[in-house]
Chains A and B, each alone.
Chain A
């Protein structure tokens, strides 16, 4: 019997669980990090104005659910908009 090409035995259970959890947000068509970066300023301003970003830019919202790094950058941008606001 041939051995499988890959060996996932080194992957801990927790990582596999997280991977399976991420499948719930997985879609055939997803934005890439570059596509999100191109519009994250527009997205953060819309969120800051209280607009329904989930409806307006659903693919960006979906990417944020899956990409920790993009989500961190978006939240940092939102922090600046909120704390810089003189209102």
Chain B
């Protein structure tokens, strides 16, 4: 495989015929070689899903690269940009699958066992909790009730309580990952400003939470 510059990658992929085919073959080999490193924290190479996933993602990556070729600005190596696209495709799929599997496990568990403890937990402080902690939690819950919009609270529940990946939570809320991040940023800013207005900061609140 010839090492290409960014410019020659773009030139070869924009042409037609055997030159383009060779570039696509080379790119496929590069993505297929790199992906297992990216997936190593997620999936064992012995997992039966591993090889088909690498192939599926590699193919999808090539299609997306060709579609987005004009958006490459040359601020990194072309192959790093391609790996970035492959990772987004692969991790989106893995997160979706992992969440679906865990939801299914929870559903099966619930048929035979009580709901997970954290979902059943009494939101009020338990007897072992200090008064300072209990008071602070009550105060923060009141602030959250007053400051958060319904959508912000829904996002917190989906991401923090139900552990959904960003893409899945965004899909349920009929938005996208970017807008969801902005929604949560607005929520954090509102809380931060409200705490400041009440002469509190995050560190003080956390200290009170730690006083068990």
Contact = CB atoms under 8 A, between A and B. Distances in A.
Given A6-B144, A45-B76, A84-B37, A23 B188 contact: yes
Given A6-B145, A11-B156, A80-B83, A20 B209 contact: yes
B16 interface: no
B177 A33 contact: yes
Interface size band for B = 35 or more
Contacts of B203: 24
A17 B75 CA distance: 39
Contacts of B144: 6, 8, 11, 16
A28 B153 CA distance: 20
B181 A11 contact: no
A17 B140 CA distance: 10
Contact of B77 (A8, A26, A45): A45
B58 to A, nearest CB: 13
A44 interface: yes
A41 B75 contact: yes
Contacts of B153: 6, 8, 11
B161 A44 contact: no
A11 B84 contact: no
Contacts of A40: 84
B80 A6 contact: no
A45 B80 CA distance: 8
A76 B209 CA distance: 34
A84 B206 CA distance: 42
B98 to A, nearest CB: 12
B191 interface: yes
Interface in B139-166: 140-142, 144-146, 148-150, 153, 156-157, 160-161, 165-166
Contacts of A81: 80, 83
